[in-house]
Amino acid sequence: MPRPKKYHTAEERRAAKAASMRRSHHARREAVNERRRELYAVKARRQRRRADRKERASTRMDGPDNGRGNLVSCDPGKERKTQVQLQETQHVETIRSNLAKVNTIRTSMKHTLQGLAKSYLDGRCSWFEVDLNDPQPNMSINVIETHLKRWNEFLTRLQPCMDAIYELAGYGEEYKSANVLKREIQVMVQWLEDIICTALVNPLDVVCAYKKGELLYQDEMRDNGNM
């Protein structure tokens, strides 16, 4: 008597075979994965050897002449080490160059302030009271907009320097120092923008808010104990 068929269709047979393969792989998973790692390692070694042969051949073709028309082979390892050292030197020089630019911006900022930030901003606000009796009351707005443009230019110059430092040195002391300067400039930009927005409504509002100590820079400095 023939044995009864367990699977009657091709789809059932394929499904059963797939299930059997999954069970087999699950039972032998570690052994299978280990074998795969061995095969990948062999393949990787072959690829590295092939790449080394190509590099040595290229070095022989590009090496110095020995005086008899033949090219002398260079040491690939020594050449790579020299390239790494050259790249590191270039990185150090790039970081140093950008740090010098950051210091230049910091010096320009201090020259613009000519002292404390409070005195600088108080001086900008005092001109609004003078201009109230002037035939050109918008003069102070134009002046403070010029100052705001200067501080925004500081940010524009600073950001590429910070990007270069971060790319080569990461979030180290050099980047942190530049970031402190950036925050100082951003705060000054916010304070100047607050004065301008108030003045655009009515220049008299700047005078009133300044005398009451209600401008943004006055509030924040008072909160920080700088007033």
Residue 1 lies in a domain: no
Which of the two residues, 62 and 176, has the higher pLDDT score? Answer: 176
67 pLDDT above the threshold of 60: no
> 107 with 182, same domain?
yes
The model's pLDDT over 158-185, given as tens digits with 9 standing for 90+, comes to: 999 989 888 888 888 889 999 999 999 9
Give the pLDDT score at 119.
Answer: 92
Inter-residue contact 62 to 79 (CB < 8 Å) = no
Q: Does residue 218 share a domain with residue 142?
A: yes
Number of domains in the chain: 2
Question: Of 195, 185, 30, which is closest to residue 124 (Cα–Cα)?
Answer: 195
Q: Cα(206)–Cα(215) distance, rounded to whole angstroms? A: 8
Which domain does 170 fall in, by range?
Answer: 81-223
Same domain for 130 and 218, yes or no, is: yes
Could you tell me if residue 168 is inside a domain?
yes
- Reported pTM: 0.59
Has residue 70 been placed in a domain?
Answer: no
Q: Verify that 144 and 178 share a domain, yes or no.
A: yes
Q: Tell me, yes or no, whether 147 lies in a domain.
A: yes
- 104 and 210 belong to one structural domain: yes
Residues 54 and 103 in one domain: no
